[in-house]
Structure 1
Amino acid sequence: MTSTPPRGAGASVADGPRRVLVGVDASSDAAAALHAGACAATAIGAELLALTAWAETPPLGVELGVDADRVVIERLQREVEPIAAVFPSLPIRTRVVHGEAARALLTAGMDADLLVVGARGRGGFPGLPLGSTAMLCVLHAPAPVLVVRSSSSGPAFDAADAPGSRRVVVGVAAATTHSAAALRDAARAAQELDASLEVVTAWQAPEQLPGPVPAVTDRVRTTAAARQAAAVREAFPDGPPPRLRETLQEGGAAAVLVAESARSDLLVVGGDSRNALTGVLLGPVALTSVMHASCPVLVVRGGRRG
């Protein structure tokens, strides 16, 4: 394993600063993740740790007989250099680890404030919406995970975007620990991005109905509105943040959030903790959002530090 000291001002990891961890593998999605991670680290006053892991012999893009460690280290440094030029005061640390990428990121991310990954790396099967490393990080990381695509990195991570025009959307179903954590993280992200915050709750009449039944649909919609209001009150007992808007939308939750992502800069969803009976690590709405959203997706779990 190779590690370099932080570039720029800042304390070492051992001193316990806030940290944003980014997985880097020379893919276009990883480059977008590195830029998004630098923006996030700057916003929260954290250091940036760019980590590359390789278990192949030789790694992708490295010829046989070449000093693979040296090539991988130099490649990581080249990927970080443009970020250091754009963010000269940001403390940046690089690390190369021998081993499987997801395991290395999950281990290094145990004390991270945020883990940022590209949706797809260099390997795997073309056409899949989410690579195995990103999937494992979303399923198992205790820290919030930001999933970024190069084709949809979003103006929220572009310094040239006009402040005040950005939009953060958070999906809420009910007042739960995960919803409260997602709401609070979404509010922090909206503040840091100078964005509006839209709390979206989907509702849907029972499919068994033969046709529109106003009394039933009104009851379902009213229940959804009450759950949304309760979730907002639980997350913000002293009152909601400015520029927060609550909306109800008819349809399946996953479909509604994926549609909302097309006109958003960031989508925030709550992750489900492991269920002792079903073994579920991430709910279907969050998983579908991560796989198909048009903008970066932040997955937040309850019961974490910070």
Structure 2
Amino acid sequence: MRTEIVVGVDASPGSAAALAWALDDASRRGVRVRAVLAWADDSRPAEVDAIATSPGLEDLAAAADKVLRRLVAAARYASTGGDRLRLSGAQVPVDERTVYSTAAHALLQESFDAGLLVIGAEPRAATRWALAGPVGDACAHEAPIPLVVVPPDAGTARSRHRAGKPVLVGVDGSRASAIAARWAAGEAALRRVPLRVLHVAAVRGTAPAQSRVPMTIPVINRTSALPWAPVGAVAATGRGGRGGGWAPVAAARTHAVLDPVDSVRRVVAGVRTMPGAPPVEPMSVAGGAAATLLLEAAGDAQLLVLGARGAGGFPALSLGSTAHQCLARVSCPTAIIRGHG
């Protein structure tokens, strides 16, 4: 069973926020955090060179270990800084791992035996962990497990008002969004907050939301418990029962002609009937640019969850244009959930 949360660490504000978020999330799940710092020539933080006694590999390796220990200790200390919601983060077991590799390769390799990957979002010029840069892009498009991208201000007092806010999931009736809805329901149950569902209608160039079009109908198995129902306990869901919270959704494919809104309602109804499901707020239907509407709604949420529905070819298409735009302008922690095992 995959239980660890892998988080990329590089001494930037974004990675500090990502580490704090990972500690907080791991404390709810009762799992370990694996903090990974890559220190190859084009990946290591400047802090490693600053304290290394020589440019030799042994000295650089020792310096990388020291930097990672300091960053983890600082994150633990911050988790006890009067914020009761994150107090338990100081008790989470952390495996510190320095890897002589590029950052993207290190994180993708570490992800294969983990349940969740967490990275920080930063401006392109600020750090190599930026989503706009090669590391963030590689993780967003290639990570085999759910990915959470955390903005640099996620650990500040200004953002902590989000703690009681709902988890927001974007749903469009696709199988990918059905899987994302189930994962989001598990997160909302863990956090003891409602799940808010936003259905964004089709925009220019696609079929209107009220038209009737052939589509795949996602069917959630109502006898399956959520990944975390009751809170703190892992449900036995076969291959998908992972400590990182990922779980597959059974899907039946059909070519029936249905209203897209009806298929979204089926997804919502399925989530509501799962054991341990959180309260599900009324579905919202809105027309306009999907990414813009999701980002606006995310201002009143503690976590935005999206399904990756692209089919490959170009990097943006392998992720899905809406998810890609949301990650490029991330305003709150944002999770990308893939539908493959």
Shorter-normalised TM range: 0.7 to 0.9
Amino acid across the alignment from 1:68:
L
| Aligned sequence identity (%) | 27
Size of the aligned set, in residue pairs, is 277
Task: Name which of 269, 290, 293 aligns with 1:256.
Answer: 293
- CA distance in 1: counterparts of 2:10 and 2:69, whole angstroms: 12
Shift of residue 194, structure 1, vs aligned partner? 2.0
Amino acid across the alignment from 2:308:
G
1:1-306 alignment, distance < 5 Å: 18-56=3-41, 59=44, 60-61=46-47, 62-63=49-50, 65-66=54-55, 67-85=59-77, 86=79, 87-120=89-122, 130-152=132-154, 158=160, 161=161, 165-176=164-175, 178-204=176-202, 206=204, 219=211, 223-235=259-271, 238=274, 241-245=277-281, 246-272=283-309, 274-275=311-312, 280-304=317-341
Given the superposition, is the C-alpha separation of residues 162 and 130 from structure 1 closer, same or farther in structure 2, using an over 3 Å criterion? closer
Amino acid across the alignment from 2:177:
S
Q: Is the 8 A contact 2:141 2:315 kept in 1?
A: no
Given the superposition, is the C-alpha separation of residues 172 and 76 from structure 1 closer, same or farther in structure 2, using an over 3 Å criterion? same
- CA distance in 2: counterparts of 1:27 and 1:258, whole angstroms: 24
Given the superposition, is the C-alpha separation of residues 101 and 225 from structure 1 closer, same or farther in structure 2, using an over 3 Å criterion? same
TM-score (norm 2): 0.71
- CA distance in 1: counterparts of 2:293 and 2:314, whole angstroms: 28
**Once structures 1 and 2 are overlaid, which stretch shifts more, 269-278 or 77-86?**
269-278
**Once structures 1 and 2 are overlaid, which stretch shifts more, 72-81 or 56-65?**
56-65
Shift of residue 264, structure 1, vs aligned partner? 1.6
Q: Is the 8 A contact 1:20 1:115 kept in 2?
A: yes
Given the superposition, is the C-alpha separation of residues 217 and 95 from structure 1 closer, same or farther in structure 2, using an over 3 Å criterion? closer
TM-score (norm 1): 0.79
Q: Deviations over 1:249-301 (max 9, x none)?
A: 12121121111122221100001254479994210011111111311100001
- CA distance in 2: counterparts of 1:56 and 1:208, whole angstroms: 46
Q: Deviations over 1:96-127 (max 9, x none)?
A: 0001101100001101111000113896679x
Amino acid across the alignment from 2:93:
P
Amino acid across the alignment from 1:183:
A
Structure 2, unpaired ranges of 5+: 80-88, 213-257
Report SS of the residue matched to 2:22.
helix
